[in-house]
Structure 1
Amino acid sequence: MTADATPDVLIERRGRVGVITLNRPRAINALTHPMVLAMRAALDGWAQDDSVRTVAITGAGERGLCAGGDIVSLYHDARSGDGAASAAFWYDEYRLNAQIARYDKPIVAVQDGIVLGGGIGISAHASHRVVTERSSLGLPEVSIGFVPDVGATWLLANAPGHLGTFAALTAATLNAADAMFLGLSDAYVPSERIPRLLTALESMEAGEAVLLLSTDAGAPPLASAREWIDAAFAADSISGIAHRLRMTGGADADRAAAAMARQSPMALAVTLESLRRAATLDTLEQALGQEYRVSRHAHAAPDFVEGVRAQVIDKDRRPRWQPYNEQDRALVDAYFAPHGDHDLLLTTALTS
């Protein structure tokens, strides 16, 4: 076994497997810009190395693969910077997401424990996505005044029915079975078998190893809610969705409506529009380009700083969101306009 170490990412060779381990366990392996660059460099190198047959992505510690991007850094850049550092981070992060999706070798992403936001981006685009009984996946961006990114609008727009819209607008937490039902994951492997899975990859093809150690995840809870979710979240506006949820009745629909009521009104509107637009796009790369524009505008909006303050900095859980008039479509459309200096232009041939 060979290994290179940096403080926050471990890059190892275990026989024919290249292993990337996110190594910030105290921060649930939240992604920083240097971590993204280290992952991209490792994938670039292994792409040219015929002795590497499979790549594995995992996280250090017991809490999770990755809790998302380092939003504290993004918060400080929004408050006292010019946004350039955050733009540079997203530029490389989204390229990493596309690189993972188009990689020529199998990538086994171990979605054990907490997998949020950017954690979805480095795992849900992989060829083999493994969940465990500890998995808790989600895209909670609207709760901090932001919008799902890292290719999540593409994934959610292509989920069955309107389940992706439900997950995004309510900031829902998904267990293993629901993550598989939405298409964010592929196989269920009990956490105690993960070390055996990583060992098996040294001598077996990725698909064979995953199949050997996987088992039934059980029935997805969202399957039984599909009818009312599809009916409510097919509406064309946030107020329309909320109205349909109230008309549906039932505890689950009420909880969904209450969850939406806690989120940033602006973020909800832009997220809904992002998903609707992503559904008309042809590729993940196009969706990432759209997200790059939206992320930069959302980062500069007041609700992002306020949302992070309330949820992460002061932790009072009482964000004071900006009011939003749903009739003012121009405010939403502005999020999709070029930011001024450059766009993120990706092709399906991207490998580096």
Structure 2
Amino acid sequence: MSDVVVFEQLATAGDAFIGIARLNAPKSLNALSQEMIDLLLPQLRAWAADPKLAAVWLEGEGERALCAGGDIVKMYESMQPVGERNHFIEHYFATEYELDYLLHSFPKPVLCWAEGVVMGGGMGLMQGASMRLVTATSRLAMPEITIGLYPDVGGSWFLNRTPGHTGLFAGLTGVHLNAADALFMGLADHFIGVDREQVKAALSALPLSGDDDADAQHLHDALVALRGDAPASPVREQFDAINAACEAPTLQRVLDNILAQAERDKWWSRAAGTLSKGCPMTTHLVWEQLRRTRHLSLAEAFRFEWVMSVQCAMHGDFREGVRALLIEKDGAPKFRHHTAAEVTAEDVAAMMVMPAPQHPLADL
């Protein structure tokens, strides 16, 4: 269905308009499908070239989610047999990362209404926006450790830019972040205290003209005027403890440190619980991705991630994690390794081998 993304134009008090892109699959919490990607890419490129476009507004249908992640059910269905190259997976990740990169590099402001659930692929979209708006219901996470993947969609870039070791902690534990956490970690820009229609009405009243600097200032001032009081931030409150746990020079020591504080409080207990039940290979992938991509450009980070993501689909843990969580829902994934200590350097190295003769993102 071509209506999985709805495109609209929001008129303003000036000569320019705001382009609205709405993910329209509320039953799946707006999970990012290949068809959505195929619709978003050409429309965003057309808007980027339109002198009458002042900004893009990205949102999800309904109040429950901007986007709960990628279309991992479709990925699961394609990952058989394990160990072979997979055209769907290779194409999906290439175009998803191309979309994320386009948002990061978009020439006009991109406003993202990050209400409700924003996870995985949704985080990739949100973090590409230049004005990331969170609300009292925002719940952000990179929970790939539960399914045998890792924090992709640019996680190599944005988790490396959070304060202290909070990015590593978030990647290892899949911890759910509220709006205040997102602001503290640099993953959001404005906490909005009114509903989205009020925000759109305020933006529509702006004298936007297509002048980049003037329009950006008008948009910023309008959003500042609509800010509310964010809730408390558990990450901020736990910042010293997170840094103390994650500053160790080896992955195993970091894992031990996090798990040793499982009884610290309910918030930490949930984070440690997700880590303890998660995929052992994922812990190594998070550790390696943040170490190896620390000084890479954004394009280089996406190229690095494409290789690891495709390898995850070829090595079985990813499919098994999706099976246990979303398909058969038995909550008992049989990952290839029982503990992180069982994962060898050779196992990790295999996840970094280029799986195709040519890289689809070579031209980013």
- Calculate the TM-score normalised by the size of structure 1: 0.92
Structure 2 partner of 1:316: 330
Contact 2:174 2:271 in 1 (8 A): no
What do residues 119-163 of structure 1 show as CA deviations (whole Å, max 9, x unaligned)? 011111211000000100001111001111110121001110110
Structure 1 partner of 2:240: 227
Q: What is the identity, as a one-letter code, of the residue corresponding to 2:187?
A: L
Structure 2 partner of 1:200: 202
1:334 and 1:142, CA in 2 relative to 1: closer, same or farther beyond 3 A?
A: same
Contact 1:24 1:30 in 2 (8 A): yes
What do residues 30-61 of structure 1 show as CA deviations (whole Å, max 9, x unaligned)? 01111012111111111111111011000101
Provide the rounded CA distance (Å) in 2 between the counterparts of 1:145 and 1:126: 27
Sequence identity, in percent? 34
Alignment partner of 1:295 is 2:298: no
2:7 pairs with 7, 11, 20, which one? Answer: 11
Match runs of 1:101-250 below 5 Å:
101-190=104-193, 192-204=194-206, 205-246=218-259, 250=263
Alignment partner of 1:262 is 2:265: no
Q: What is the identity, as a one-letter code, of the residue corresponding to 1:278?
A: T
Provide the rounded CA distance (Å) in 1 between the counterparts of 2:317 and 2:44: 35
Contact 1:179 1:185 in 2 (8 A): yes
1:236 to partner: Cα distance? 3.7
Contact 1:117 1:150 in 2 (8 A): yes
1:250 and 1:316, CA in 2 relative to 1: closer, same or farther beyond 3 A?
A: closer
1:236 and 1:78, CA in 2 relative to 1: closer, same or farther beyond 3 A?
A: farther
Structure 2 partner of 1:272: 287
Helix, strand or coil at the partner of 1:124: helix
Structure 2 partner of 1:286: 300
Alignment partner of 1:91 is 2:94: yes
Contact 1:22 1:65 in 2 (8 A): yes
Helix, strand or coil at the partner of 1:122: helix
Q: What is the identity, as a one-letter code, of the residue corresponding to 2:6?
A: L
Contact 2:262 2:272 in 1 (8 A): no
Provide the rounded CA distance (Å) in 1 between the counterparts of 2:137 and 2:258: 30
1:188 to partner: Cα distance? 0.5
Q: Mind listing any 5+ residue stretches in structure 1 that lack a counterpart?
A: none
Q: Mind listing any 5+ residue stretches in structure 2 that lack a counterpart?
A: 12-16, 207-217
Helix, strand or coil at the partner of 2:51: coil
Provide the rounded CA distance (Å) in 2 between the counterparts of 1:29 and 1:316: 24
What do residues 242-271 of structure 1 show as CA deviations (whole Å, max 9, x unaligned)? 322355575245554332110000111111
What do residues 260-302 of structure 1 show as CA deviations (whole Å, max 9, x unaligned)? 1100001111111111112232x22111111001000011111
Q: What is the identity, as a one-letter code, of the residue corresponding to 2:274?
A: A
* TM-align CA RMSD: 1.9
Contact 2:281 2:343 in 1 (8 A): no
2:350 pairs with 318, 324, 334, which one? Answer: 334
Provide the rounded CA distance (Å) in 1 between the counterparts of 2:362 and 2:103: 13
334-343 or 140-149, which deviates more: 334-343
1:327 and 1:43, CA in 2 relative to 1: closer, same or farther beyond 3 A?
A: closer
Give the paired residue count.
342
Structure 2 partner of 1:304: 318
1:159 and 1:346, CA in 2 relative to 1: closer, same or farther beyond 3 A?
A: farther
122-131 or 272-281, which deviates more: 272-281
Q: What is the identity, as a one-letter code, of the residue corresponding to 1:171?
A: G
Q: What is the identity, as a one-letter code, of the residue corresponding to 1:65?
A: L
29-38 or 77-86, which deviates more: 77-86
Contact 1:143 1:262 in 2 (8 A): yes
Provide the rounded CA distance (Å) in 2 between the counterparts of 1:122 and 1:242: 29
Contact 1:137 1:175 in 2 (8 A): yes
Q: What is the identity, as a one-letter code, of the residue corresponding to 1:301?
A: H
198-207 or 258-267, which deviates more: 198-207
Structure 1 partner of 2:70: 69
Provide the rounded CA distance (Å) in 2 between the counterparts of 1:254 and 1:241: 16
